[in-house]
Amino acid sequence: MRTQVAIIGAGPAGLFLSHLLHLQGVDSVVVERRDRAYCEQRQRAGVVEHGVAEALRASGVGERMDREGFAHDGIELRFDRRSHRIDFPALTGRNVMIYAQTEIVKDLIARRLADGGRLLFEAEAGAIEGTETERPRVRFTHAGAEEVLECDYVAACDGFHGIGRAAMPGGAARTFEKVYPFGWLGILADVAPSCDELIYAHSDRGFALHSMRSETVSRLYLQVPADTDPRNWSDERIWDELAARFELRDSDWELKRGPITDKAVTPMRSFVTEPMRHGRLFLAGDAAHIVPPTGAKGLNLALHDVALLADALTAWHGKGDTSLLDEYSATALRRVWRAEHFSYWMTTLLHTRPDGDAFDRRLQLAHLHHIADFTAATTTLAENYTGLPRV
């Protein structure tokens, strides 16, 4: 089998890259070890930056997002049992969309298949070879048979546990990592959201986040110890703890409760691989970097990566120009480290440290009050949250 770009992984990064390349006449094949149903059902992030939403629209896959998603003009910070709204348009002229990654994947799969794209589900990549030559190849198993996909370039969009990063030879890359001593207990509930915009709540009991998936489905998170077993949390205990962390003084706001349909714990880590290229192998998305979800950057970073990579591969395909390919890693990493810092900042600002003391908590409150009281500080948060321009 032959193609110009072999893409490993049918998550949003791999699918969007394949879609963007198709629009420019560059052929690709996507190899995905899971089946289509799994890819379209796995729950992930739901905040889409302004620039990423614009890119989806410009490429022709934003129609359902605009029809069924939610345009949000701000977020609410809750701390010291008070509410403080961050007004995105007033501060930045931008907003964000709330549209689940699951739905973006569905839209991209449907579009690629409608355009005749080659998406190979239940095809497990076992090896990436020849990345230092002009003819790299991906060995994979599909329908019980061993296959070889020959190509000009390989894009590993196969996540943190994929084979892409592992295919880089020893000493070719350096990794930076921070593991946090807490995680998020996330739930999906069949109940209308209790808020119009996302609520980020800091309290002595720990962090909580209120988000939504639709007008009838809510998505909520609780800070918990990293080794938490979600089976030890009853539905009633979860709702009671959420209510306590979202509590406001002098307010009649109330957390709506409903049947919990999904419950899982997400670990929290920061991770970066440098460089994001070796020879003709390129890393994108979670294959190259992980951010804690507090800053809502994981999905957005992945789509920024492949937008850069698509431009670079298009320049190579159309003009034989490899300069953008040569600059890809350095260019992508500038945004990655900015997002890593913002996500770390949001995480340490809002979460309760297990080893923290009263002094640490007072510092957090002082910083939160500074954000709420000073326009410059509020603007910095809003600019990073809605998404910085491409660099």
Residues 150 and 198 grouped into a single domain: no
Whether 83 maps to a domain, the answer reads no
Sign of CA pseudo-dihedral 297, 299, 303, 309: positive
Whether 86 maps to a domain, the answer reads no
Contact 261, 220 (CB under 8 A): no
Whether 284 maps to a domain, the answer reads yes
Residues 333 and 375 grouped into a single domain: no
Instruction: For the chain, count helices (H), then strands (E).
Output: 12, 20
Residues 299 and 377 grouped into a single domain: no
Q: Which regions in the chain score pLDDT beneath 50?
A: 391
Residues 186 and 151 grouped into a single domain: no
Query: Which amino acids are annotated catalytic?
Result: 72, 200, 293, 297, 385
For residue range 101-144, list pLDDT tens digits in order: 999 999 999 999 999 999 999 999 999 999 999 999 999 999 99
Q: Looking at residue 377, what is its pLDDT?
A: 97
Whether 79 maps to a domain, the answer reads no
Residue 110: which region, alpha, beta or left (left: phi > 0; alpha: psi -120 to 50)? alpha
Average pLDDT over all residues of the chain? 96
Residues 302 and 361 grouped into a single domain: no
Integer Cα distance of 19 and 24 in angstroms? 9
What CATH number is given to the structural domain containing 255? Answer: 3.30.9.10
Contact 31, 18 (CB under 8 A): no
Whether 108 maps to a domain, the answer reads yes
Residues 241 and 364 grouped into a single domain: yes
Integer Cα distance of 184 and 269 in angstroms? 11
Q: Which domain holds residue 136?
A: 5-72+96-177+269-346
Place of tokens 């069949």: 190
Residues 25 and 134 grouped into a single domain: yes
Q: Looking at residue 385, what is its pLDDT?
A: 97
- Work out the burial of residue 301: count CB atoms within 10 Å of its CB; fewer than 13 is exposed, 13-18 middle, 19 or more buried: buried
Whether 87 maps to a domain, the answer reads no
Whether 82 maps to a domain, the answer reads no
* Backbone dihedral angles phi then psi of residue 87, each to the nearest 5 degrees: -90, 100
Whether 89 maps to a domain, the answer reads no
Residues 285 and 309 grouped into a single domain: yes
Sign of CA pseudo-dihedral 171, 165, 273, 224: negative
Contact 241, 193 (CB under 8 A): no
Tell me the one-letter amino acid at 21.
L
Residues 66 and 103 grouped into a single domain: yes
Q: Looking at residue 152, what is its pLDDT?
A: 97
H-state helical runs in 80-177: 88-92, 101-114, 163-166
For residue range 255-274, list pLDDT tens digits in order: 999 999 999 999 999 999 99
For residue range 19-70, list pLDDT tens digits in order: 999 999 999 999 999 999 999 988 777 899 999 999 999 999 999 999 999 9
Q: Looking at residue 390, what is its pLDDT?
A: 64
Which pair of tokens denotes residue 140? 């994979």
Name the β-bridge partners of 137. Answer: 129, 150
What CATH number is given to the structural domain containing 148? Answer: 3.50.50.60
Contact 183, 228 (CB under 8 A): yes
Q: Looking at residue 170, what is its pLDDT?
A: 87
Residue 275: is the preceding peptide bond cis (ω within 30°)? yes
Residue 130: which region, alpha, beta or left (left: phi > 0; alpha: psi -120 to 50)? left
b/e per residue 16-27 (b: at least 16 CB within 10 A): bbbbbbbeeebb
Residues 33 and 14 grouped into a single domain: yes
Query: Whole-prediction pTM value?
Result: 0.95
Q: Looking at residue 44, what is its pLDDT?
A: 73
Residues 362 and 376 grouped into a single domain: yes
Instruction: Give the total number of structural domains in the chain.
Output: 2
H-state helical runs in 24-100: 36-39, 50-58, 63-68, 88-92
Residues 26 and 122 grouped into a single domain: yes
